[in-house]
Structure 1
């Protein structure tokens, strides 16, 4: 016996169910909670796996960079073989969606919208993850100290290379938005469409950094692993708090 989080919390918060219904919902909530505990462990297992992969990749970047040269060069050559004026304009445009101007703008717009809708825990989940990953990237770039590719840069970029800030920011921002939007949708077709759209955006941003010559492919992989691990680690806490707050009527 299971119950949708939104149904259980909204029903009790509205006070429209009788004692018998309350007992049934309470039993459902118990089973739902136990299921969520198992799900939380699964998310944390995946997050740990992603983090281990990131650490292993970072170890190679720091101490054995030559072992990555073949992979990086092959992918760079393949992506930059698409070189044309139109593709350059396209990827220069796309890369902005993971940049340090566009990302804060989207976050601020979402912040106001979420507060207006009284989705308070969504604010914490989205804004908190974006801030944390930005701080982590700056710290880790100093730790690994990897310089950018020696290829011709098609956009101006300074600083170090690993992990990619654009890749990590895009997977945290658009991955979080994908989760939050899908939670509110009922149609499985719409959920599928949202996942496809945001996944394409994330991949294109990563490809843009390689095409523009400002990142190694393994920088992008590192950014994706870091961002995905953070999302997987924090999502169960977000989901649990959201359920409790909706249950108590703190938020919608």
Structure 2
């Protein structure tokens, strides 16, 4: 898979989307979707959507990330654990920076960051949706890990479908809960994909360099033995 090309394409789409959002091109669509979801809102649907968006909650995300890291270290997958920390770190920092940079108001009023009681004085702006970005990164990494290190399994397509479904529902759920506009979630998904492909691209470059270095080392050793 050409991660470089995918990274450039998704990054270009991210820039275009940011520009469109800043100039208000999605205002009509966002307003229409907001009013439509508001008319459909009730306690039952709100509870359902909150369940779907749990994976994007900061505390749940932190716990799941810790479980993944422990699992990778237990399996001695050092490179994969570093990759996971790398992409999640970029996702958290970039999402926060973009929120502060654009300061787009949320549809449901002002929200504050709350990480187990910390950061409650910091406003959490609307664009991009942190739930969309971080759920895509975490579950996208699991898809990548399962694809590259998992054994052949007939259930793989079903597992991939469920993970992609969970990602989509996390972003869509934020719209139905009036936490974000639709363009916030779309932007979060595209930015998340960009980070994911960039991380995989860097990882593949590092792997290629490591393999070439190993081959050169083996070649030199053979020459020395032959001489």
Of the structure 1 ranges 157-166 and 167-176, higher mean CA displacement relative to structure 2 is found in 157-166
Contact 2:126–2:184 under 8 Å retained in 1: yes
Contact 2:99–2:128 under 8 Å retained in 1: yes
Contact 1:149–1:213 under 8 Å retained in 2: yes
Matched residue SS, 2:26: helix
Alpha-carbon RMSD: 2.5
2:85 aligned with 1:127, yes or no? Answer: yes
Q: How does 1:13-162 map to 2 (within 5 A)?
A: 39=1, 42-62=2-22, 64-65=23-24, 67-150=25-108, 158-162=123-127
Contact 1:91–1:208 under 8 Å retained in 2: yes
The alignment covers a number of residue pairs equal to 203
Distance in 2 (alpha carbons) for counterparts of 1:77 and 1:201 = 24
Contact 2:110–2:124 under 8 Å retained in 1: no
Distance in 1 (alpha carbons) for counterparts of 2:32 and 2:150 = 40
Distance in 1 (alpha carbons) for counterparts of 2:198 and 2:205 = 13
Distance in 1 (alpha carbons) for counterparts of 2:61 and 2:193 = 17
Q: Deviations over 1:35-58 (max 9, x none)?
A: xxxx4xx32222111111111111
Contact 1:61–1:144 under 8 Å retained in 2: no
Residue 236 (structure 1) shift:
3.2
Contact 1:79–1:207 under 8 Å retained in 2: no
Residue 93 (structure 1) shift:
2.2
TM-score, structure 1 normalization: 0.73
Q: Deviations over 1:88-142 (max 9, x none)?
A: 1111222221011111111111111110110011101112111111000111111
Contact 2:107–2:180 under 8 Å retained in 1: yes
Distance in 1 (alpha carbons) for counterparts of 2:189 and 2:37 = 18
TM-score, structure 2 normalization: 0.80
Of the structure 1 ranges 116-125 and 181-190, higher mean CA displacement relative to structure 2 is found in 181-190
